[in-house]
């Protein structure tokens, strides 16, 4: 079985709990991967919230494009096995 990230496992467990654990672990991992992938492109509201939390300033949509890149990197990390300590 392919190694999975802790975040992917956590989301899979949450989906399984909400579903009553009627499917297989592989099914829930697939659903978790799809759910996390769906979040890859942050909405305007998510970008605004991240910007305003980081910079305590109003966001007009044109500042700090690195926030979107950072969010995409975070989603990629959530989908990849950890490489810490290797």
Give the tens place of pLDDT for each residue, 13-24.
Answer: 999 999 999 999
**Per-domain boundaries in the chain:** 6-38, 40-81
d(CA 70, CA 67): 5
Q: What are phi and psi of 41, to 5 degrees?
A: -100, 100
pLDDT at 8: 95
Q: What global pTM score does this model have?
A: 0.78
Average pLDDT over residues 30-41: 94
pLDDT at 1: 47
d(CA 12, CA 28): 5
d(CA 56, CA 8): 31
Asked if residue 85 has pLDDT above 70, the reply is: no
pLDDT level of residue 49 (50, 70, 90 thresholds): very high
d(CA 20, CA 15): 9
């Amino acid at each position: 079985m392919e190694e999975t990230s802790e975040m992917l496992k956590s989301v899979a467990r949450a989906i399984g709990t909400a579903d009553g654990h009627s499917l297989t672990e592989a099914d829930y991992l697939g659903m978790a991967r799809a759910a996390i992938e769906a979040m890859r492109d942050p909405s305007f509201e998510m970008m605004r919230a991240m910007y305003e939390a980081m910079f305590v300033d109003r966001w007009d949509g044109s500042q700090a494009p690195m926030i979107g890149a950072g969010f995409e990197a975070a989603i990629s990390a959530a989908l990849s096995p950890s490489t810490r300590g290797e």
